[in-house]
Amino acid sequence: MADGLHLARMPSRLGVSRWGRATLVDVSAELIAPLGFKRRVAVPMLDLVTPDPAALRAAAGAADHALRLGPVIVCCALGYSRSAAVVATWLLSTGRAANLEDAVDRIRAVRPAIVLDETTRAAIREAAL
């Protein structure tokens, strides 16, 4: 996405060989992340439920902090909603995006199939304040 932050689905064991030196910011509540990452931060969010703004803020802050140590992967089960919401929050809260539409456009350029409904967008706006 930007500055060493990546948006992805939950990596497989094979993904660890590619990304093992990164910090994994895992926002899935239903999956167990593969072993082998240098660092892992978990901020569990339920799938198909509007994320809590405080959880979005916490995950975006964890990702931003981890970037000081190297690359970061923000992931959920498929990388289409929860993780995209965290990345949008990060883009907005760090000033890397001018507004929510700019953040969404930047994410869609990399992952066209993201799903951010209106309630999730409202949570992102609140979280990025």
Which segments of 10-93 are extended strands (E)? Answer: 23-28, 39-45, 72-76
Residue 112: both structure tokens together:
């066209």
Q: Residue 36: left if φ>0, alpha if ψ -120 to 50, beta else—which one?
A: left
CATH assignment at residue 68:
3.90.190.10
Q: Is 77 exposed, middle or buried (0-12, 13-18, 19+ CB in 10 A)?
A: middle
Q: Give the residue numbers annotated as catalytic, written as ranges.
A: 76
- pLDDT tens digit sequence for 71-123: 999 999 998 999 999 999 999 999 999 999 999 999 999 999 999 999 999 99
- pLDDT tens digit sequence for 39-76: 999 999 999 899 999 999 999 999 999 999 999 999 99
Q: Domain limits at 71?
A: 5-127
Report how many domains make up the chain. 1
